[in-house]
Every structure is written in C-alpha cells, then in structure tokens.
C-alpha cells in the first residue's frame, strides 16, 4: 500500500465495515512503517491488510475484503501470503482481534491455525453499544 492507494482502500473499508477506519488512520499506519498491503485484481483493490510488528511478534490490525468478493477465497489467500511474508521477516507469532459475531472470519483464521487466547470486553463499537473481541494467535516458527 502506498499513499496513492489510500482512497481506493477507503472505498473497500467503508463498504466492508460498519465502523471503518479513516483516511488519517491509514496515513498514520503508512507513516510509522506498519506493513500495509493491498490485494489487487485487474487494477482494482480487492482487499487490504495492516500489520504492526516488532520483537518477533505481529498484530494484524485490519484485514478487509471487498464485500462483493467475499466468500471466494480472497481473504484466506491474502492472509496466507501475509503470514509467509511475516515469517520471512522473522516474525514468530501473530495476534489479532475478531468480533465473535464474525463467524466467517473466525473460520478463516481457525483454518489457518489461529486459536483463541483471550477476550477483550467491549472492544468494538456496535450498532447497539459495544461488542467484545476474541483474541486469536498463531505461532509461525
């Protein structure tokens, strides 16, 4: 992901999340050097991923697939590529949060070896109040 990709990423983000990240959040992630990736198909952004990493650990902060392309394996394939890249960069373990209500995402993560290691109470904004987050983790090495 580059600065010039952010507008196209925002389009996917806004259609893919009820509470999307802002332009400034993506710009800040790029500025501080997080791993920010886009998956493109014929020049169209299909998915994006943001990962913070250091000291052998990585934290997936955002993974979003265009809603029109969900259910076709883009998310899992993109995640596989990102995990290989992280492994190649010396990352030993990866963490992420996911909404308990997002059964599809949980299934994708579990199929890639992620396991629940905790829960964060009232982590996500929701249509009515807040929603907990499941904390998932996977060892890469």
For 3, other C-beta atoms within 10 Å of its C-beta total: 10
Catalytic residue among 97, 116, 123, 131: 97
Residue count of the chain: 141
Q: What are phi and psi of 129, to 5 degrees?
A: 85, -130
In the three-class reduction of DSSP (H, G, I as helix; E, B as strand; rest coil), residue 18 is classed as coil
124 given a catalytic annotation: no
Residue 116's beta-bridge partner residues? Answer: 136
Query: Per the residue annotation, which of 13, 34, 109, 124 is the catalytic one?
Result: 109
Q: Catalytic amino acids? A: 97, 109
């Amino acid at each position: 992901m580059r600065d010039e990709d952010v507008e196209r990423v925002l389009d996917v983000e806004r259609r893919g999340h009820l509470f999307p990240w802002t332009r400034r959040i993506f710009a800040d992630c790029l500025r501080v050097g997080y791993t920010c990736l886009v998956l493109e198909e014929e020049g169209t952004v299909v998915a994006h991923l943001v990962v913070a990493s250091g000291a052998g650990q990585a934290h997936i902060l955002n993974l979003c697939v265009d809603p029109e392309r969900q259910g076709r394996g883009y998310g899992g394939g993109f995640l596989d590529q990102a995990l290989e890249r992280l492994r190649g960069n010396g990352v030993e373990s990866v963490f992420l949060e996911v909404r308990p209500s997002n059964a599809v995402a949980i299934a994708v993560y579990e199929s890639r070896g992620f396991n629940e290691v905790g829960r964060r109470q009232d982590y996500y904004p929701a249509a009515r109040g807040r929603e907990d987050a499941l904390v998932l983790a996977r060892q890469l090495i």
